[in-house]
């Protein structure tokens, strides 16, 4: 389940493992356990979450894979420096949004989008197949259909994923979590779906991007993606 769909569905089914990972992840991101802190021992955490030692061990492995903790022999499991955290991880992004993000965090997300997505649009224009262009344009047109805030965000997400697919570069798919995080911010604030005139403008900007990709005009595609991102950055620099 993707980050955005997980949020819209309430997080999906909960297992003992996910219960522990989510609980500890939120506590670490929220500062209950600060950088450098040693987490409570297995007995204390087992009682807190009502799980076995084996579940705790697997949960710690998951958090370690996200770069958030590291086990130390005879010391315990320590919270790592935030610079080591995998901020592209879907859970890590979700926890930040659940706890509330500041303008700096949003700025960092958009800066990363601007660093990657215009180049992705250029690659999509160069490498797309006929079916890719048709799918991208169809998604742009779907934005004009009646939407809730949630359904509009999901179509927007599908559009950007379709652009990544058209690049034929599988490594670019890792940026999908960043786009979903931005769309979560839209859900928490305002959405074009609530403003018919803005919906038309947003759909038009996406349509222009799709048409540039269809025409294999890589310069126009790169510029159009930059416009899409900048207009979506509420409170950010003015779009040109």
Helices and strands: H and E segment counts in the chain? 11, 2
Q: Cα–Cα distance between 90 and 4 in angstroms, integer?
A: 9
d(Cα 128, Cα 122) in Å, to the nearest integer? Answer: 10
51 part of a folded domain: yes
CA–CA separation, 38 and 32 (whole Å) = 11
Question: 111 and 209 share a domain?
Answer: yes
* pLDDT tens digit sequence for 181-214: 777 666 556 677 778 899 999 999 999 999 999 9
User: Has residue 126 been placed in a domain?
Assistant: yes
Q: Give the global pTM.
A: 0.81
Is there a single domain that holds both residue 109 and residue 188? Answer: yes
Whether the CB-CB separation of 133 and 189 falls below 8 Å is answered with: no
- Is residue 97 in some structural domain? no
Statement to judge: residues 62 and 174 lie in one domain: no
Q: Residues 55, 115: one domain?
A: no
What's the average model confidence in pLDDT over 21-27? 97
Q: Which of the listed residues 22, 52, 84 is the one where a domain comes to its end?
A: 84
Residue 96, in any domain of the structure: no
Q: Under DSSP, is residue 68 helix (H, G, I), strand (E, B) or coil?
A: coil
First to last CA, the chain: 35
Domain CATH code at residue 64: 1.10.10.10
Domain range for 137: 102-232
Structure tokens at 177: 């979590």
Q: How confident is the model at residue 70 (pLDDT cuts 50, 70, 90)?
A: very high
> Which residue in this structure is represented by tokens 């979450």?
49
How many domains is the chain partitioned into structurally?
2
Q: Please tell me whether residues 66 and 145 are part of one structural domain.
A: no
Spatial distance between the Cα atoms of 211 and 217, rounded to a whole number of angstroms: 9
**Is residue 70, in this structure, part of any structural domain at all?**
yes
- More confident call, 240 vs 167: 167
Q: Which of 43-47, 73-77, 79-83 has the lowest mean pLDDT?
A: 73-77
Whole-number pLDDT of residue 18: 94
CB-CB contact of 232 with 166 (8 Å): no
Domain endpoint, select from 56, 84, 112? 84
Q: Which helix (H) or strand (E) holds 140?
A: helix 130-142
What residues form DSSP beta bridges with 70? Answer: 78
Do 116 and 215 sit in the same domain of this protein? yes
**Is residue 63 located within the same domain as residue 109?**
no
Task: For the beta carbon of residue 237, count every other beta carbon within 10 angstroms.
Answer: 10
Burial class (CB in 10 A: 0-12, 13-18, 19+), 10: exposed
Q: Lowest-pLDDT range, 63-77, 88-102, 218-232?
A: 88-102
């Amino acid at each position: 389940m993707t980050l955005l769909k997980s949020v819209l569905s309430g997080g999906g089914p909960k297992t003992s493992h996910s219960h522990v990972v989510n609980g500890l992840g939120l506590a670490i991101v929220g500062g209950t356990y600060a950088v450098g802190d040693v987490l409570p021992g297995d007995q204390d955490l087992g009682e807190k979450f009502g799980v076995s030692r084996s579940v705790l061990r697997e949960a710690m492995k998951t958090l370690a894979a996200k770069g958030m903790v590291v086990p130390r022999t005879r010391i315990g499991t320590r919270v790592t420096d935030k610079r080591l955290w995998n901020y592209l991880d879907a859970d890590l992004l979700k926890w930040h949004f659940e706890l509330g993000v500041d303008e700096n965090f949003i700025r960092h997300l958009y800066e990363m989008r601007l660093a990657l997505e215009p180049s992705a649009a250029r690659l999509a224009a160069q490498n797309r197949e006929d079916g890719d262009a048709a799918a991208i344009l169809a998604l742009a047109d779907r934005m004009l259909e009646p939407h809730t805030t949630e359904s509009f965000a999901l179509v927007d997400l599908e559009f950007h994923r379709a652009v990544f697919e058209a690049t034929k570069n599988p490594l670019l798919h890792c940026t999908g979590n960043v786009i979903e995080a931005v769309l979560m911010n839209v859900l928490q604030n305002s959405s074009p779906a609530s403003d018919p005139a803005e919906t038309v403008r947003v759909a038009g900007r996406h349509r222009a991007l799709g048409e540039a990709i269809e025409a294999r005009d890589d310069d126009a595609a790169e510029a159009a993606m930059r416009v899409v991102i900048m207009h979506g950055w509420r409170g950010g620099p003015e779009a040109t």
